[in-house]
Amino acid sequence: MITYSFLQHYWWFIISLLAGILAFLLFVQGGQSMLFSLSKTEDERRLLVNVLGRKWEFTFTTLVTFGGAFFASFPLFYSTSFGGAYWVWMAILFCFTLQAVSYEFQSKPGNVFGARTYRTFLFANGLLGTFLIGVAIATFFTGSDFSVNKGNITSQFAPVISQWGNPWHGLEALLNLRNLSLGLAVFFLARSQALLFFINRLSNEVLEKRSRKVLWINAIPFVVFFLIFVIWTLFSEGFAVDPTTGIVSLEKYKYFTNLMEMPVILGFFLLGVVGVLYGIGRSLLSGKFKSGIWYSGVGTIVTVCSLLLISGYNNTAFYPAFPNIQSSLTIFNASSSEFTLNAMSIVSLFIPVVLIYIFYAWRAMEKKRTDIDDVNNDSHAY
């Protein structure tokens, strides 16, 4: 029996999964944020640019698809958050625009601004992209100052349905310490994953050694900020929805309760965290272990997905409004119609096909590790 409620839950799962995959793929950005610090010579830098450059489109495309899927399944989020938290999203977009040209342009003659400029763009994208996406996702737990009034459409002079409550339009999220802690956690996670990726993909002893060395100073802040965010969130108030009346109220330990009441998600969450820690930990302890990225990558996907699931499942408002808590968005009041969710669910059956060909293509291209000679012999090297 496919009910409307099932479809809404299904689509929240897809969104959460895409967010998880995006969080994993942000390793590209993490790597970009270390372009200058990790490499000492031009050859090393080129090597880093090139191994990352073969993956950047996956991250980018996932971000775009995340946006599109969110639009199709929960349009009220799209209209409320993007139009409201204008500055945060614009900043994110701006730095991803910079990224999109930088790989292709940086080493080409005639590029007007020189390689260093484009690499600085990549660096900026690595720094801001990860951090701001983390902050934006944190507001799914901490809330934002907006109100939704669908009746406004009948007003001639101000027919705007979703209104932001302050002129900062999203920048105010940066003043919340809990948001900042997730932003920093995402930033350091992306960097840690990038290091694991380098360890796995590069055939260059110097860079590999260096990667292992700096893994410490990225993994520790990641764990610290992640724990701050998670513990703080689990033990603070959450936004609960009454399933019959739709009334939103603040409930103590809501997210902790959600984990307890949904043991499957709890299980996945713990498994994910263990996967991330195992991938990082073993790479730190053993100089020969190269597969950390797979453990921590899958772990990241599962952890982030579970976190988002507890923000929307079990009668919780996934995009809370504060102080106007009755405007909060839930998977019920923000979703598309049953018809559209149904149609889109059929389309979503295509996702496994996509994953299969991505896997296949990745395998075909990554038969061996990359060194600087590969880059020099490649007709399309960046």
- Considering only residues 30 through 89, tell me which ones interact with another protein, judged by CB under 8 A: 54, 57-58, 60-61, 63-69, 71-73, 75-76, 78-84, 86-87, 89
Residues paired with residue 322 on neighbouring β-strands, in sequence order: none
Number of residues this chain uses to bind another protein (CB under 8 A): 80
112 belongs to the binding site for another protein (CB under 8 A): yes
Part of the chain binding another protein (CB under 8 A), chosen from 1-9, 94-102, 279-287, 303-311: 94-102
Question: DSSP secondary structure string, 337-367?
Answer: -HHHHHHHHHHHTTHHHHHHHHHHHHHHH-S
Nearest-5° angle of CA 353, CA 358, CA 361? 125
Phi first, then psi: give them for residue 319, nearest 5 degrees.
-130, 85
Q: Which of 42, 159, 166, 209 binds another protein (CB under 8 A)?
A: 159
- Residue 11's nearest CA partner among 299, 332, 260 is 332
Per DSSP, the three-state class of 164 is strand
Q: Which is nearer to another protein, 106 or 193 (CB)?
A: 106
Looking only at residues 272 through 311 of this chain, which bind another protein when binding is defined by CB under 8 A? none
Q: Which is nearer to another protein, 109 or 263 (CB)?
A: 109
Q: Could you give the dihedral angle defined by the CA atoms of residues 314, 319, 325 and 327, in that order, rounded to the nearest 10 degrees? A: -110
245 belongs to the binding site for another protein (CB under 8 A): no
113 belongs to the binding site for another protein (CB under 8 A): yes
Q: Which is nearer to another protein, 169 or 178 (CB)?
A: 169
3 belongs to the binding site for another protein (CB under 8 A): no
Q: Which is nearer to another protein, 89 or 226 (CB)?
A: 89
Q: Which is nearer to another protein, 298 or 351 (CB)?
A: 351
Q: Which of 3, 157, 244, 288 binds another protein (CB under 8 A)?
A: 157
Which residue do the tokens 């799209």 mark?
A: 78
Could you tell me which residues come within 8 angstroms of residue 327 by beta carbon, excluding any fewer than 6 positions away?
Answer: 146, 147, 148, 149, 321
What character string, x for contact with another protein (CB under 8 A) and - otherwise, covers 308-347? ----------------------------xx-xx--xx--x
370 within 8 A of 197, measured Cβ to Cβ: no
2 belongs to the binding site for another protein (CB under 8 A): no
236 belongs to the binding site for another protein (CB under 8 A): no
348 belongs to the binding site for another protein (CB under 8 A): yes
285: its two tokens: 């302890």
123 belongs to the binding site for another protein (CB under 8 A): no
263 belongs to the binding site for another protein (CB under 8 A): no
Q: What is the CA radius of gyration of the chain?
A: 21
- Residue 182's nearest CA partner among 239, 132, 256, 145 is 132
Per DSSP, the three-state class of 218 is helix
